[in-house]
Structure formats: structure tokens, C-alpha cells
């Protein structure tokens, strides 16, 4: 079999993965490139370059891990929410994050990896969640700030991913984005209540914004990837190369710095309405650019926060690992029970088959008797 087998799907020809082994790689790549160039979707059984698969697995896993690790800073406030309305909203939000983690692990599994292996990699520190969450949520206002700023940044980041070139990822992101948009509104509403409250409440809100602004601006969008975005040309060049690759494959649609600018432009008027000060003295409207100027993200800040050896980086992973290890006996019990149930079902199938056979034999015998008589 020298020619690639072409399977015709509902809307376009798809080159099957099995055929890929023997097919001419150039032809497969050309087919892949054409789909991406048309803005089409790559589906799990389509041929795809190894680098594309690796980049997606890495990105989707990191995104899934961020949802799961991101449950912690807010989850820590579930038992202390100061009103039952806010408590309900926060439970629903943390629950959504668990759900997003599950959609995304499922999307990653369509690329041939296993959720358990991805979680193991997270627990061993081989894969990471967004470093944004390697910051502590110190007050109740942090939950509002995380929802307003961090989820706000996530929506800006993720909205273009609803059109990303890999089908299962794009579909997962559509559901994720809808829910994230709610979280941002709820976070803003929580902050508004604090800002309209007592001076102590407003001070708590400002303190939280002072601590979460930089993590949101710097860490939610990735390293600078244009000359405009960073303070150091080498980092910007490295970032630009990665972004170019991701954009050529249709995984990304915009540079990190474009999205970062969009985020700043969105937040400045919101902060003004709340009466809060964003902790960057360089923020001012630039008439010529039609955007807000802000302090370029320093690579040192970024690298420092990325380190594994900080209290919170260690703590987040340790919390996850402890939950996983403490729950091992429960998962083992569930697996043993499921295996036994399957066995019983199979036995039942055999028993039913045997009963049917016996019944048929009786019917046959009766028919024969009738025929004879």
C-alpha cells in the first residue's frame, strides 16, 4: 500500500492516521496546512505534525492544570464567605473550574495522552499550572480580584481559542469562555460591593488589587513576544519565535503582547469606575496609539514568579498531591468495584445466553415433537 488511504468525512476528505505511517509526509503536511490556512478544524483522527501535537498537549495540559490548581486560592475562602449569596456564587465558581479542568483533560486525551499521566506530571512538578496561582489569596477581596482580573485576563486569552485550529480544544473553550465571562462579572460585582462598603472594606479591595495586578498582567499572558512588550530584546525574540509557530498552526491567533494590551485597555476604565488604583504609575491614555500605556513587563519579574522554589509554588502542588494520595484508597475501591461489576455483567451475559440456549433447545424439542406427531 503505497498511496495514502483517503477517508471521506461529512464535509471534507480526511487522511486517516493509520495511513500516515506509509504516506508521503509532504503530502500529509500540505493537506494539514491547507486545512489550517482555510481556518478549518483539525480533528483527533486527522494527521498532524508531531510538533503541533506536542504544543497542543503542553498548552491544553497547562490550561487544565491551571483550572485545577486555580481552585485552591478561592477554594480556601469557601468556608469564610461573608454572605450566603457570595458563598453560593463562590461554590459555583470553584465547581465550574473543576468542570473546566475535566473538559480540558478530555480534550488533551484526544491527542493520545492519559489524564492520570498528566496529573502525575503535575504532582511530580514536571508540568506546571499558570504561575499566577503561585500567589496567596490573603483576604476575602482576593477572591473578587482573582475573578475580576485573573479570570478577566483568561477570557481575553481564551476567547480567540474558541477558534483555535484543533477541534476538541476549540469546542471545550467555547464552554469554558461562557462560564468565565460570568465569573468576571461576579468578581467585578463583588469588588463593587466592597468599594461601596465601609472604608475598611474598600482598603481590603485596594490591597488585593495591589497584589494581583502584576501577576495578572505578567503571568496570565505569557512572556513578552514583541519588541514593544518586554524590557529585554532577547526574551522578546524568543517569545516571538514560539508565538509565530503557534500562530502559523492556528493554535494562537494573537501575540501575548496584543492580548496583554487588550486586557489593560479593558481594566483601566473598570478600575476607575470602582474607584480603585491599578498599581502602575505608568498607566495613561496614549491618544496616538489609541491604547493605554503601561510599564513593560520585566522578564525578571516573570522568571522569579515562575520558579518552583517559592512557598506558594510548593504549597499548591503539595495540596494537590496530598488530595490525590489521601484519595488513593477511594479510587482503588471504585476501580475494584467497577471491575467486579463488569465481571458480574459478563457472567450474567453468559448465564442469560445459557438460559436462552436451554429455552431454545426446549422449544426446538417441542417443535420436533409436534412435527413428529
Residue numbers at the binding site for other proteins (CB under 8 A): 68, 71-72, 75-88, 91-92, 94-95, 98-99, 101-102, 105, 140, 193, 196-198, 200-201, 204, 319, 322-323, 326-334, 336-338, 340
Nearest residue (CB) to other proteins, 35 versus 190 = 190
Residue 356: CB minimum distance to other proteins, A: 27
Residue 55: CB minimum distance to other proteins, A: 24
Nearest residue (CB) to other proteins, 138 versus 248 = 138
How far is it, in rounded angstroms, from Cα 213 to Cα 172? 27
Nearest residue (CB) to other proteins, 92 versus 233 = 92
Nearest residue (CB) to other proteins, 19 versus 193 = 193
Residue 319: CB minimum distance to other proteins, A: 7
Report which of 50, 12, 49 is spatially closest to residue 33, judged by C-alpha positions: 49
Residue 70: count of CB within 10 angstroms of its CB: 23
The maximal CA–CA distance of the chain, rounded, in angstroms, is 106
DSSP 5: P
- Indicate the angle between helix axes 311-326 and 328-372, nearest 10 degrees: 40
Contact call for residues 73 and 142 (beta carbons, < 8 A): yes
How far is it, in rounded angstroms, from Cα 186 to Cα 182? 6
How far is it, in rounded angstroms, from Cα 338 to Cα 350? 18
Residue 199: CB minimum distance to other proteins, A: 10
Nearest residue (CB) to other proteins, 122 versus 155 = 122
Residue 150: CB minimum distance to other proteins, A: 16
Residue 67: count of CB within 10 angstroms of its CB: 23
Amino acid at each position: 500500500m503505497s498511496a495514502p488511504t483517503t477517508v471521506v468525512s461529512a464535509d471534507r476528505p480526511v487522511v486517516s492516521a493509520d495511513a500516515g505511517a506509509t504516506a508521503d509526509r509532504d503530502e500529509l503536511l500540505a493537506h494539514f496546512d491547507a486545512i489550517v490556512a482555510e481556518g478549518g478544524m483539525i480533528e483527533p483522527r486527522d494527521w498532524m505534525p508531531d510538533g503541533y501535537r506536542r504544543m497542543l498537549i503542553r498548552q491544553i495540559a497547562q490550561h487544565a492544570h491551571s483550572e485545577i490548581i486555580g481552585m485552591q486560592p478561592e477554594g480556601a475562602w469557601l468556608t469564610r464567605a461573608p454572605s450566603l449569596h457570595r458563598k453560593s456564587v463562590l461554590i459555583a465558581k470553584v465547581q465550574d473550574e473543576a468542570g473546566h479542568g475535566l473538559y480540558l483533560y478530555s480534550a488533551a486525551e484526544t491527542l493520545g495522552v492519559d489524564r492520570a499521566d498528566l496529573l502525575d506530571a503535575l504532582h511530580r512538578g514536571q508540568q506546571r499550572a499558570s504561575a499566577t496561582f503561585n500567589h496567596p489569596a490573603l483576604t476575602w477581596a482576593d477572591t473578587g480580584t482573582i475573578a475580576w482580573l485573573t479570570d478577566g485576563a483568561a477570557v481575553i486569552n481564551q476567547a480567540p481559542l474558541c477558534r483555535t485550529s484543533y477541534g476538541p480544544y476549540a469546542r471545550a473553550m467555547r464552554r469554558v469562555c461562557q462560564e468565565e465571562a460570568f465569573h468576571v462579572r461576579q468578581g467585578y460585582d463583588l469588588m463593587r460591593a466592597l468599594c461601596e462598603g465601609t472604608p475598611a472594606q474598600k482598603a481590603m479591595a485596594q490591597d488585593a488589587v495591589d497584589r494581583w495586578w502584576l501577576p495578572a498582567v505578567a503571568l496570565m499572558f505569557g512572556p513578552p513576544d514583541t519588541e514593544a512588550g518586554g524590557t529585554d530584546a532577547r526574551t522578546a525574540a524568543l517569545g516571538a519565535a514560539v508565538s509565530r509557530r503557534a500562530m502559523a498552526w492556528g493554535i494562537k491567533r494573537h501575540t501575548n503582547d496584543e492580548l496583554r494590551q487588550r486586557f489593560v485597555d479593558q481594566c483601566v476604565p473598570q478600575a476607575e469606575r470602582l474607584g480603585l488604583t491599578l498599581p502602575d504609575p505608568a498607566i495613561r491614555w496614549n491618544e496616538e496609539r489609541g491604547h493605554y500605556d503601561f510599564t513593560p513587563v520585566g522578564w525578571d519579574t516573570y522568571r522569579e514568579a515562575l520558579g518552583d522554589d517559592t512557598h506558594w509554588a510548593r504549597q499548591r502542588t503539595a495540596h494537590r498531591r496530598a488530595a490525590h494520595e489521601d484519595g488513593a484508597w477511594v479510587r482503588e475501591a471504585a476501580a475494584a468495584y467497577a471491575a467486579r461489576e463488569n465481571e458480574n455483567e459478563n457472567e450474567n451475559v453468559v448465564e442469560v445466553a445459557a438460559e436462552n440456549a436451554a429455552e431454545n433447545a426446549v422449544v426446538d424439542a417441542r417443535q420436533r415433537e409436534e412435527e413428529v406427531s
